[in-house]
Structure 1
């Protein structure tokens, strides 16, 4: 696949969108290696001034770390000592020191109470995510709490009948790592090149490649999950019968390898401004297409007419 031909000027926003989930997963590995618990809310590592901890089987986090969950308001009343979550008018409350919460009109027993630590209110993450209708996942190996909830706008864009709009939404969906991404080999080349692959006509599953690592993501129940991570040999282009969209020899992987026997499209961005795109047929043959317009490159993912010609 020719990924280093004529370069055109593209925006750093496009590169950020294509690189997004890869960077979030790398941050998770770095955070987990230190032993402290970290929080990733919608692909962004939360800044905390009090380290999260586990008590009575519950993970307690500082309230400010999770206020970025979209479409909800989370507040703390220092006089009443009550945490309130307002999710589109549906309120949930938890009083510090109590193991009983009111979540949208129902009393729920918690394993641990909210409490003060170093001047900060620490709240069981499960109370917040249940009240906010968000997804939470504890990756014990990484020691990372993932919190995922797409905004209403992003969720609506994913349902768009326009493939490009839906795909641009899918790569911005909050990701959760349940598999663990493999680490790149430093000497494999340009570390600022990011490639995103979509199987033919698919909007809810995609691959992201950085250097010699390819990660497979699929949207499940309103969040994205990293399901497979593979190391490839960039010097050996081969036909992967069950995965022809990845035209390199797979030498190692984690997770369950997906079986997608169709071709698809790819978009490759690199700094300081190269952009390439094309199609890959079901036999693994890649065809780079003509230079995109500035408008297309700024869009990030756009519709490719040749995709419909793929068998």
Structure 2
């Protein structure tokens, strides 16, 4: 596959980090090099640059990481570690290996080679706690509000509807697994370590062979591993944003749909309790 000429895009939690032309991220020997601005965007980190000693210092929870431009080693506290690529100066800007620093401060880094997108996620305990709420509607809302990491090959020509009505499917009693459909596409995501990871995506065609039992259309193209649903039923919320409501109900393993009614859903992820839903074990 030919190398993409697209600039690398970096998102920290949900915010894209803008960099100027002189400090664009680049890949050297498989390592993504980024300007200090990106590292400074990771929550909970203080970053400093000493021009006299050419040293980068990053501090998190009283632990200090130091790198010197041009050196292929760094220190985490008093421990010396080797770097895959030395930090360096480029057009007057210091560029550092993103994954090394991010993982040293307990942040997650994901890379999509197809779109040249980098995802950095540093979840707070509060973010994770909300996804584990005993209130299932609140937990589902919090899960969908996590930073989303998409590292699969995109499916081309997935038709989007003009108004973004979605259908959300959750295994019964669960908040950490969700299917979402819109237009002619469906994707499956899982909450992992304070982030929402895309595990599977598919383009749907006409009625035909099924994938997961909630899919009644033929799968034209897919990427990732097709998930298996282990609960007996799936809860669905079919949204209608024009009128601020959602149709809801259950789908069983035979694909039979039981629609229970319609409920106000004035904004994204404002889920509600579904009568008869059982808590997961």
- TM-score w.r.t. length of structure 1: 0.76
Q: Tell me the equivalent position of 1:205.
A: 177
Residues 68 and 275 of structure 1, relative CA distance in 2, 3 Å threshold: farther
Gaps of 5+ in 2: none
Q: Give 1:44 deviation, angstroms.
A: 3.4
CA distance in 2, matches of 1:124, 1:110: 8
Partner secondary structure for residue 107 of structure 1: strand
Matched, 1:87 2:56: no
Residues 81 and 251 of structure 1, relative CA distance in 2, 3 Å threshold: same
Tell whether the 8 Å contact from 1:276 to 1:288 is kept in structure 2 after alignment.
no
For residues 70-123 of structure 1, the C-alpha deviation after alignment (integer angstroms, 9 at most, x for no partner) is 233333344443222222222212122222111244211102222222332211
CA distance in 2, matches of 1:178, 1:299: 23
Greater relative contact order structure (CA < 8 Å, 6+ sep) = 1
CA distance in 2, matches of 1:33, 1:301: 40
Q: Tell me the equivalent position of 1:223.
A: 195
Matched, 1:254 2:226: no
CA distance in 1, matches of 2:175, 2:38: 31
Residues 100 and 217 of structure 1, relative CA distance in 2, 3 Å threshold: same
CA distance in 1, matches of 2:62, 2:250: 47
Q: Tell me the equivalent position of 2:164.
A: 192
User: Within 5 A, what are the aligned runs for 1:116-265?
Assistant: 116-186=89-159, 189-233=161-205, 236=207, 240=210, 243-260=212-229, 262-265=232-235
Partner secondary structure for residue 193 of structure 1: coil
The total of aligned residue pairs comes to 273
Residues 204 and 288 of structure 1, relative CA distance in 2, 3 Å threshold: same
CA distance in 2, matches of 1:288, 1:58: 51
Residues 123 and 255 of structure 1, relative CA distance in 2, 3 Å threshold: same
For residues 212-258 of structure 1, the C-alpha deviation after alignment (integer angstroms, 9 at most, x for no partner) is 1111111234433211111124x64x794x72334544333222211
User: Within 5 A, what are the aligned runs for 1:283-294?
Assistant: 283-284=254-255, 285-287=257-259, 289-292=261-264
The correspondence for 2:272, drawn from 302, 306, 310, is 302
Q: Tell me the equivalent position of 1:37.
A: 8
RMSD over equivalenced CA pairs, Å: 2.9
Residues 287 and 183 of structure 1, relative CA distance in 2, 3 Å threshold: farther
Structure number having the greater helix percentage: 1
Residues 270 and 207 of structure 1, relative CA distance in 2, 3 Å threshold: same
Tell whether the 8 Å contact from 1:71 to 1:151 is kept in structure 2 after alignment.
no
Partner secondary structure for residue 115 of structure 2: coil
Gaps of 5+ in 1: 1-31
Partner secondary structure for residue 86 of structure 1: strand
Residues 124 and 211 of structure 1, relative CA distance in 2, 3 Å threshold: same
CA distance in 1, matches of 2:59, 2:128: 19
